[in-house]
Chains A and B, each alone.
Chain A
Amino acid sequence: MRLRYPTNIKIIKVPCSGRVAIIHMLKALEEGADGVIVAGCLEGDCHYQSGNLWAKKRVSYVQEILEKIGMEPERVAMYNLSAGEGPRFAEIAREMTEKVKELGPSPIRDAKKLASKKSKVEVAA
């Protein structure tokens, strides 16, 4: 299809969105990701019956955690689309990129950069 979507998105393949655990989303944010998309099949179309419904619940749980620790819950989002919807995927990728741009860079990445700069200065001193 040669569809264009932003290059900042890193795709991690899983057999089913139900494989995505809470810790996977949190780890991505810990590593400095600005946002996380969980892309599952359409509701009612899960090959494993309810994997996408589990994913939806886990995404909501992560959003709750983010709210409690003072981070924007919109940094994590669940989308449902079928494997045949390439143009929709490109649209979602653009949509999420725009949303994250509005929110600004991850406060974690900024803080990590600052911390590593500080430690370099400490080593130099």
Chain B
Amino acid sequence: MIMARPKPIEEIIDEIKDFNKVLIAGCDGCVTVCEAGGSKEVQVLASALRLYFTKERKRLEIDETSLTRQCDKDYLHELLDKIDDYDAIVSLACGAGVQFMAEMYRKKPIFPGVDTCFIGVTEERGVWAERCQACGQCILASTGGICPISRCSKRMLNGPCGGSEKGKCEISPDTDCGWHLIYERLKELGQLDFFAEPTDPKDWVSSRDGGPRKIVREDVRL
């Protein structure tokens, strides 16, 4: 899932302070799972903003909503009837949701309420970690199901490098060496021959080197 963290409230206050009526819009998708932008976070942010602006004696009306997904036009349409009631929207969706909202409601200023961080997993409650960089050409089949692009700090295709020590990466003793993990897993699986075979350079065109990406599938298009 896409992981995000809440933006500092001071930043949001600064963005909306000159408006009169603002809608805080959450997203019930990924950002709900990482407890950054779901309906619960919308309630807390809206309440904190109301406290701040009431204390400052500034009349700024703040309403709350949460959409099933903000990366889907059908759900963004739900705001169509009420969007004109607001001067601005603070979207707690990921960067994709914020942009899709801005594309759909072109005349409304849209502000992001979270910082979108990575595609990752919930390791435990309150701990989220990166697992995928969406490079567009998955090589997990030959790396024991552990991705060197997201787990190795240097994104090396043939590792580990000289900075790997006792299974940890040179950037921090808290960071596992991705290639150490790959080696250990391949050994467990009896697939160390994958490790012995050098991997050819990757074609990064399917990643960001090819510019903004798009998937078009005629078989599922309407």
Contacts and interface: CB of A to CB of B under 8 A. Distances in A.
Contacts of B59: 115
B40 A23 contact: yes
B48 A111 contact: no
Interface of A: 21-23, 26-27, 29-30, 65-66, 68-71, 107-108, 111-112, 114-115
B80 interface: no
A111 B47 contact: no
Nearest to A114: B57
B21 interface: no
A30 B44 CA distance: 11
Given A23-B40, A23-B43, A69 B54 contact: no
A71 B48 CA distance: 10
Tell me the dominant secondary structure on chain A's binding face. Answer: helix
A108 B55 contact: yes
A80 B87 CA distance: 45
B5 interface: no
The interface size bin for chain B is 10 to 19
Contacts of A22: 44
Given A30-B50, A65-B9, A70 B44 contact: no
* 3 cross-chain pairs, A with B, having the tightest CB-CB distances, nearest first: A26-B47, A69-B52, A107-B55
A27 B47 contact: yes
A27 B9 CA distance: 17
A26 B51 contact: yes
Contacts of A71: 51, 55
